[in-house]
Structures are given as structure tokens and as C-alpha cells.
Structure 1
Amino acid sequence: MIVVVAKIKAKAGEEGKVEKALRDVLPKVREEEGTLSYTLSKSQSDPTTLLVLEKYKDMDAFVFHSSTQYLAEMFAEIVPVLDGDLSVELFDEIA
């Protein structure tokens, strides 16, 4: 199982736009074959910081997800209003 942790920091005042874009793709991602879970969380201490926690059946499912048109469109929308780089780390679930 592949676990993905994506940390996203919006520019001040742009967090609503970033959150909406991420919320808009949630239903599509959750319907992808091989997606086990896909959740969006907001930092309690910094409302401009969002965390996406994703679980996929295997690497093929993650690769499929990463290549979808709606994900590319969402990134094109949010990248200009991010504060720094998007942080994405992949893990293998071990227990």
C-alpha cells in the first residue's frame, strides 16, 4: 500500500481558493480505482497550511492518479497562489 503525504501552504489570503480547488477534486479522486482513502485537513495553528493524506492500493494506482487531467488542472489553478513549493512524500505502509 502506498501512502502519500502532501503539505500545501497557500499565500496569505489565498487559502480559500486553494482549499476549494482541493475539495473540488476529492469526489473524483475517491472514485479512482485503487484509491483507498483521500482526505484533506487544515492546520490548527496555521490556516494557510493544508495536508492531503492519500492511500493507494499500489504504485500503479498512484501513477494513474498523478496523471489525471483534473489533477493537472487543479495544480495549474493553485500553483500561482502557493507560498513556496508543494511538499509530497511517499511511504510504504508497513503495519
Structure 2
Amino acid sequence: MVIVAKLKAKSGHEGQMEEIFMNMITKVKDEEGTLIYTLHKSQSDPTAFMFYEKYKDMDAMTFHSSTPYFQELFPMLEPHMDGAPEIEMYEELGGLDR
């Protein structure tokens, strides 16, 4: 189970969003079923962020989205976001993972 989440910051709010995201990462690192949870920032657009998330299974993803810190995430982000997040779910078919 893979999720790609794209979020845009309002101009001038990039630092606040990055701080919120980095705080989230420190909490997610203890989730047993979360295999990958990485934050990326666009090289061409400093307001564009992307999370790549990989979960062991649907139960692990459901657990992640039900945690108190996840439930608090979007209310904290809302004043800093430019538009709604784009969230896509993917099924991994194959590739290289080192």
C-alpha cells in the first residue's frame, strides 16, 4: 500500500509547513506498519511538498490515519496550505528498493 500526498504552501508559509511535517515524521517513525514515510520538496517550486508513504498493509494505513497526531495534522496545516492536498493511493507492482 503506497500513498503519494502532494501539498502546497501559501507563499511565505513554507517554513511553517515544513516544521509541522518534520514534527509529524518524528511521531510516525514509531509506527510498526509504516515502512516508508518520506517528505520531499520540489526543486522548481519551494511551495510544493510531497510525502511518499509505504505501509505493510491496509490495516497499517488505517492505524496511521486514526492516530491522534494524524487527526490533528490537517487543522494545523490549514492556515498554511494553498488549496486542498492531492492524495493518491497506489498498489506496488515491482521495482528496486535498497
For residues 60 and 50 of structure 1, the distance between their equivalents in structure 2, rounded to whole angstroms, comes to: 26
Q: How far off its partner does 1:84 sit?
A: 0.6
Structure 2 equivalent of residue 70 of structure 1: 69
Where does structure 2 lack aligned partners over 5 or more consecutive residues? none
Runs ≥4 residues deviating over 6 A: none
SS class of match (1:70): helix
**Mapping of 1:1-95 within 5 angstroms?**
2-95=1-94
For residues 16 and 72 of structure 2, the distance between their equivalents in structure 1, rounded to whole angstroms, comes to: 14
The answer to which of 26-35 and 42-51 deviates more is 26-35
TM value normalised by structure 1: 0.95
- Counting aligned pairs with the same residue, the percent is 52
The answer to which of 48-57 and 73-82 deviates more is 73-82
For residues 48 and 58 of structure 1, the distance between their equivalents in structure 2, rounded to whole angstroms, comes to: 31
TM value normalised by structure 2: 0.92
RMSD: 0.8
For residues 68 and 55 of structure 1, the distance between their equivalents in structure 2, rounded to whole angstroms, comes to: 16
